[in-house]
């Protein structure tokens, strides 16, 4: 039962991140000159990818390289660097 509650909380968290990303994309398309919305939406996308790999969601990024740990480590570092770059672009 405890695992189901933790999994439900993770799905709620990922859903909230997805909604925030979509909201930022809508704001960007309404005002394309304001690039901050685009950078923040990309930041949220990278955050979704990172959290999806960490939470081990079925059918997500972690399934693609569950057998290749070295590739997963390189992707993890790349996503973290993109998180940093997009966050600094939005601030």
Q: Is the pTM of this model over 0.85?
A: no
pLDDT of residue 13: 86
Give the Cα separation of 75 and 82 in Å (integer). 10
**Tally of CA atoms within 13 A in the half-sphere of 50 that contains its CB:** 16
Closest CA to 15 of 43, 51, 62: 51
Q: How far apart are CA 6 and CA 67, in angstroms?
A: 25
Least confident of 40-44, 65-69, 76-80: 65-69
pLDDT tens digits, residue range 11-25?
Answer: 888 899 999 999 999
Burial zone of 9 (CB within 10 Å; 0-12 exposed, 13-18 middle, 19+ buried)? exposed
In this prediction, residue 48 carries a pLDDT of: 85
When comparing pLDDT for 6 and 45, which is higher? 45
């Amino acid at each position: 039962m405890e695992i189901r509650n933790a999994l439900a909380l993770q799905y709620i968290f990922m859903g909230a991140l997805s909604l925030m990303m979509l909201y930022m994309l809508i704001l960007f398309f309404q005002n394309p000159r304001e690039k901050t919305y685009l950078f923040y939406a990309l930041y949220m996308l990278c955050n979704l990818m990172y959290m999806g790999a960490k939470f081990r969601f079925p059918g997500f990024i972690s399934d693609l390289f569950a057998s290749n740990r070295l590739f997963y480590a390189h992707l993890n570092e790349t996503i973290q660097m993109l998180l940093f770059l997009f966050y600094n672009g939005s601030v």
